[in-house]
Structure 1
Amino acid sequence: MSRLGIVGGGQLARMMALDAARLGVDVLVLAGPHDEGVRGLFPVMDGAPEDLAALRGLADVVDVVTLDHELVPLDVIRALEADGVVVRPGSATLSFTDKLHQRRRFAELGIPVPAFAEVKSLDDIEVFAQEHGWPVVLKAPRGGYDGRGVTVAADLDEADGMIAAADGRALLVEEHLELTSELAVISVTSANQDQTTYEPVVSVQIDGMCREIHADGSITVDLSTVAVRLATRVAQVVGAVGVLAAELFVVERDGQQQVLVNEIAARPHNSGHHTIDGCVTSQFENHVRAVLGMPPGPVAQRDPVSVMVNVVGGAEGSGDPRERVGEVPAGVKVHLYDKTPRPGRKVGHVTATGEDRDTVAALARTAAAILEGRA
């Protein structure tokens, strides 16, 4: 059995490694000094994700390298590949973590995306807004997540701060859309090219952060078919190996629903955490299987309804969620990440499953509120 190296020691590495261990796969994690989630559970090598020497040290003692995050510079990934290291996903796929590159390539291939442009100045933004209207959405091409690196600007004054912070670097500007809903689709592509796709889910976003995921049969068959087709196409375009998450916007235009690709992530993703308890095979097990060249496991849901709610650090003094686990209602699955609680930081998630949408959602929300000290 191969030995798997994971770059990054956060919650995704934690959940990936836990499922790898069940398969009998040895795991070694390269973690930075501030990484939390894996230390104490699995062997860890100390090293920063941009440190080529550290990554080479990891690669020397594992068979396949995969990633917990997108913070490894592309030139470092390419250097590893030039050494003959098996990195999955590879540099070609990871180049799509640059949102400008992603938007351009998808648009070229006819994959529907929001109207966008590259901008470097307020004048550039004004030209875009004259065509598409205010407000506009400004995004850093790399590194943003959970609402970070994103600004919704109602006018040039509100756009000025992000332009100034960019200091001459290009930004992505997009049209601001009135959304009908947000969906996500997790696809899995094995190194042997076997592919499967989980049921699309509804993603509930608050302040740019995913707060809830609903896999509850509420998405129409037609919409689900379009979402799966788009996610499969995207996985093929980027040459994905492993899990690929496609975050999708649903808008209504001319009386018809249209699905647009918002962002992708070439790794296990928050929108797939419900699969641990809600599906026959979790996204984490399937990522491990895929990057090691095994066929994906079955992705069917165990119950008609599965709802995941993130547990987020609250105000100072709200305490440690671990102290409240005993108060969580029976039947709700709790996953805490061993991360220091801070306001706005994801420190865990809960999943409830069952048959009735409202009952299951209420149970998951109650459990999250208890762990966050709000109930």
Structure 2
Amino acid sequence: MSGAEVLLLMDDRPSSFARYAARELAGRLVLLRFADSRPDLPEEYLRETAHLPAFWVREGSTVGGEARRYRDWAAGLPVAPTRFCNPSEPRQAVAQRFAELAGLPHLSERQVALVRDKAAMKECFRELGLRTAEFARVRSGAGIERFAARHGWPVVLKPVDSFACVDTHRLDGPGDLAGIDLTARDWMVEAYLAGTEWEACAIVLGGEVLDVWPSAMPCRPLDIVDGAMNANISVGTAEGPPVDLRALIQRIITGIGVDHGYAHMEFFLIDGEVYAGEIGVRLAGCEIPANHGHAYGFDVFGATLAVYLGRRPDLDYQERCCAGDLLLPLPGTGLVRRITSRDELLEMPGVIDAVLKVRAGDPVTARRASHNASGYVHVVGASVGEVESRMREVLARFTIEVGAREGHVVAT
């Protein structure tokens, strides 16, 4: 990639995007890391990115103080960053505030609220003329029951700032409230929507949505955290939803006032009508961006970096197919005893890439989150149905055994 501007990249976990940026922007990339994210940054990844300058925000320090320390530190670099990119959903508020105090392009406090506080987000959607599920902020089980009395069971309960379905629950009746602590966080409740749930990703420059890429979800995220197949399929063919996606996302981008970046949206189609779900102004999770690159045959990460560097990307598509990421199960907590090898995965129909995050002998911890996985594969096909069928074959042939430290197998 050409150009002299240097990018400050928020880096709190290894990702395909961060690894791409580390390779392609050597000499023009600086990493922003928070000390409390150190457990999520494996030694192998730290060695892999050791050639890049990295500023560590210290635990217990104020954002303002650390931003001042960063400015002094960056003044000693050959070229100080002039652009900023935050791919992290949970650190959106602190990362954007840091960027503001460091004098870099950033989302405002209001914009962060609209893409993090899901109740405020849905209020904004309605102000922009979009349909949403019925919703309300709640603080007690009684509040949830009053909402359900008006709108019916089931309902969806979630923290307003949740991500990856962490602490998100489908409640089929009052009995499902048992064990949920409603005092520690801010919560909201939504009417459960039927219909088809879709995703759409977009890149934005100068306030303009340059293009949108839809994704089908074989299983809903709420079903995924309860054990359903965890997959997303980028639809580069005519099978996408019958919706003007560019106009839909442009309405939101204009309403929020976003200048540039990557946006990821979830929405429902019910009897031909769109119901806006949620939107994030950061890269989509899992390997969804990479799916788009495979489905359209272009450099999706390069295009994303371009808009964060203030340049118009090359969207020269060379392919039109369907491509998805299938997250491989992580069924328990303990030690990995056995796992299907990468070579075996690559021999399966439609699999073009495979990444295993764990090996035999590794300790693992299962979590109730939509990104919980032992690895992933990328699967391609001529249609959504073919990709999904191939994914299910991978799952049928994939094996992982997790045992207690004494060697007793507890999950397969």
Identify the TM-score tier after normalising by the shorter chain: 0.7 to 0.9
| Alpha-carbon distance change, 194 to 233 in structure 1, aligned in 2, over 3 angstroms | closer
Identity %: 18
| Alpha-carbon distance change, 237 to 84 in structure 1, aligned in 2, over 3 angstroms | same
> Letter of the aligned partner of 1:195 in structure 2?
V
Query: In the alignment, what sits opposite 1:130?
Result: 149
How far apart, CA to CA, are the structure 2 residues paired with 1:49 and 1:98? 25
Of 341, 344, 351, the match for 1:324: 341
How far apart, CA to CA, are the structure 2 residues paired with 1:215 and 1:76? 29
> Letter of the aligned partner of 2:134 in structure 1?
A
How far apart, CA to CA, are the structure 2 residues paired with 1:91 and 1:128? 30
Deviation at 1:263, TM superposition (A): 1.3
| 1:26-65 equivalent positions in 2, closer than 5 A | 26-31=28-33, 32-36=37-41, 38-42=45-49, 43=52, 44-47=54-57, 52=63, 53-54=65-66, 57-58=69-70, 60=74, 61-65=80-84
Deviation at 1:23, TM superposition (A): 5.7
> Which string of whole-angstrom CA distances, capped at 9 and with x for unpartnered residues, describes residues 250-277 of structure 1?
22xxxx3222111112111133330233
Of 355, 362, 375, the match for 1:336: 355
Deviates more, 1:328-337 or 1:1-10: 328-337
Query: In the alignment, what sits opposite 1:2?
Result: 5
Deviates more, 1:64-73 or 1:201-210: 201-210
Deviation at 1:362, TM superposition (A): 3.7
How far apart, CA to CA, are the structure 1 residues paired with 2:120 and 2:30? 32
Deviation at 1:282, TM superposition (A): 4.3
CA contact (8 A) 1:103 1:113 kept: yes
Deviation at 1:247, TM superposition (A): 0.8
CA contact (8 A) 1:92 1:239 kept: no
Deviation at 1:78, TM superposition (A): 3.5
> Letter of the aligned partner of 2:56 in structure 1?
D
Of 185, 188, 207, the match for 2:200: 185
SS state of the match for residue 198, structure 1? Answer: strand
SS state of the match for residue 275, structure 2? Answer: strand
How far apart, CA to CA, are the structure 2 residues paired with 1:313 and 1:111? 37
> Letter of the aligned partner of 1:137 in structure 2?
V
CA contact (8 A) 2:346 2:353 kept: no
| Alpha-carbon distance change, 354 to 137 in structure 1, aligned in 2, over 3 angstroms | closer
| 1:356-375 equivalent positions in 2, closer than 5 A | 356-367=383-394, 373=400
Query: In the alignment, what sits opposite 2:234?
Result: 215
Query: In the alignment, what sits opposite 1:349?
Result: 376
Deviation at 1:200, TM superposition (A): 1.4
How far apart, CA to CA, are the structure 1 residues paired with 2:66 and 2:397? 40
CA contact (8 A) 2:197 2:266 kept: yes
CA contact (8 A) 1:305 1:355 kept: yes
How far apart, CA to CA, are the structure 2 residues paired with 1:286 and 1:90? 24
> Letter of the aligned partner of 1:199 in structure 2?
W
CA contact (8 A) 2:351 2:377 kept: yes
How far apart, CA to CA, are the structure 2 residues paired with 1:129 and 1:102? 21
Of 159, 163, 167, the match for 1:149: 167
1:267 aligns with 2:269: no
| Alpha-carbon distance change, 16 to 369 in structure 1, aligned in 2, over 3 angstroms | farther
| Alpha-carbon distance change, 361 to 79 in structure 1, aligned in 2, over 3 angstroms | closer
TM-score, normalised to structure 1, is 0.82
SS state of the match for residue 145, structure 2? Answer: helix
How far apart, CA to CA, are the structure 2 residues paired with 1:18 and 1:39? 14
Rg larger in structure: 2
Deviation at 1:290, TM superposition (A): 0.7
How far apart, CA to CA, are the structure 2 residues paired with 1:354 and 1:152? 32
Q: How many residues align structurally? A: 362
Unaligned runs of 5+ in 1: none
| 1:192-211 equivalent positions in 2, closer than 5 A | 192-204=206-218, 205=220, 207-209=223-225, 211=230
> Which string of whole-angstrom CA distances, capped at 9 and with x for unpartnered residues, describes residues 277-319 of structure 1?
3333344322211111011231646132222212343334445
| Alpha-carbon distance change, 294 to 267 in structure 1, aligned in 2, over 3 angstroms | same
CA contact (8 A) 1:242 1:267 kept: yes
SS state of the match for residue 138, structure 1? Answer: strand
| Alpha-carbon distance change, 301 to 311 in structure 1, aligned in 2, over 3 angstroms | farther
Query: In the alignment, what sits opposite 2:314?
Result: 297
How far apart, CA to CA, are the structure 1 residues paired with 2:153 and 2:105? 45
SS state of the match for residue 40, structure 1? Answer: helix
SS state of the match for residue 48, structure 2? Answer: coil
How far apart, CA to CA, are the structure 2 residues paired with 1:318 and 1:108? 50
Query: In the alignment, what sits opposite 2:24?
Result: 22
SS state of the match for residue 225, structure 1? Answer: coil
Deviation at 1:176, TM superposition (A): 1.2
> Letter of the aligned partner of 1:172 in structure 2?
M
> Letter of the aligned partner of 1:281 in structure 2?
F
> Which string of whole-angstrom CA distances, capped at 9 and with x for unpartnered residues, describes residues 73-109 of structure 1?
636634642452223x454432221111101111122
Deviation at 1:135, TM superposition (A): 1.8
Query: In the alignment, what sits opposite 2:77?
Result: none
How far apart, CA to CA, are the structure 1 residues paired with 2:305 and 2:39? 24
How far apart, CA to CA, are the structure 1 residues paired with 2:316 and 2:198? 18
SS state of the match for residue 314, structure 2? Answer: coil
How far apart, CA to CA, are the structure 1 residues paired with 2:343 and 2:94? 47
TM-score, normalised to structure 2, is 0.75
| 1:275-294 equivalent positions in 2, closer than 5 A | 275-294=292-311
How far apart, CA to CA, are the structure 1 residues paired with 2:146 and 2:321? 48
Deviation at 1:119, TM superposition (A): 1.4
Task: Please report the RMSD computed on the Cα atoms of aligned residues, expressed in angstroms.
Answer: 3.3
How far apart, CA to CA, are the structure 1 residues paired with 2:14 and 2:238? 29
| Alpha-carbon distance change, 134 to 301 in structure 1, aligned in 2, over 3 angstroms | farther
How far apart, CA to CA, are the structure 1 residues paired with 2:314 and 2:377? 23
